[in-house]
């Protein structure tokens, strides 16, 4: 499972001109399930994301997790994270999980996050979305669970 994690001061998702989710300070997490991923992979990815110590402590060091900071989480499915760009100019997506597996693993990631985080919001799986964010730091972390 691939995750692009951004520490944000705010983020929102718009579908068909309607804001469907928004958060204040916390994490915006783009998630991509790969064809070899399992529910165990989704659980592990969610746990690692929540426990990442990327929020500032009293000394200004990145030493606190999302739970420690009391932040929110906005989780958005994004299959394009799994693009194969090794050759040519057109990305390939043959290693990305299909819609059925991708949806199931995305839902498992969300469910696991909700077990540990007080405020979890989501995008809409498979929809055309506009994602708005204000990156804090900027802090952007690439997480590859395989």
- DSSP result, 55-77: EE-TTS-EEE-HHHHT-EEEEEE
Nearest to 50 by CA among 105, 114, 142: 114
Annotation says 18 is catalytic? no
Domain that includes residue 47, residue range: 2-144
Residues 45, 143 contacting (CB under 8 angstroms): yes
Query: Residues 125, 83, 47, 138: is their CA dihedral positive or negative?
Result: negative
What pLDDT is recorded for position 42?
98
To the query of whether residue 134 is one of the catalytic residues in this protein, the response is no
How many structural domains are present in the chain? 1
How far apart CA 21 and CA 124 sit, in angstroms, is 9
Residues 6+ positions from 139 with CB-CB distance below 8 Å: 6, 7, 54, 62
DSSP state of 84: B
The enclosing H or E element of 36 equals none
CATH of the domain at 107: 3.50.80.10
Please confirm, yes or no, whether 6 is among the known catalytic residues: no
Q: Tell me which of 19, 36, 80, 95 is the catalytic residue.
A: 80
Catalytic-labelled residue, pool 55, 79, 109, 125: 79
pLDDT in tens, the chain (146 residues): 999 999 999 999 999 999 999 999 999 999 999 999 999 999 999 999 999 999 999 999 999 999 999 999 999 999 999 999 999 999 999 999 999 999 999 999 999 999 999 999 999 999 999 999 999 999 999 999 98
């Amino acid at each position: 499972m691939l995750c692009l994690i951004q520490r944000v001061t705010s983020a929102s998702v718009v579908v068909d001109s309607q804001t469907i989710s928004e958060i204040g300070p916390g994490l915006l997490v783009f998630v991509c399930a790969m064809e070899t991923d399992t529910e165990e992979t989704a659980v592990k990815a969610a746990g690692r994301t929540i426990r990442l110590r990327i929020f500032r402590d009293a000394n200004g060091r990145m030493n606190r997790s999302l739970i420690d900071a009391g932040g929110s989480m906005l989780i958005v499915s994004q299959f394009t994270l799994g693009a194969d760009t090794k050759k040519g100019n057109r990305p390939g997506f043959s290693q990305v999980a299909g819609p059925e597996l991708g949806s199931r693993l995305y839902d498992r990631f969300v469910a696991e996050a909700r077990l540990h985080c007080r405020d979890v919001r989501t995008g809409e799986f498979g929809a055309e979305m506009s994602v708005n964010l204000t990156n804090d730091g900027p802090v952007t972390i690439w997480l590859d669970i395989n």
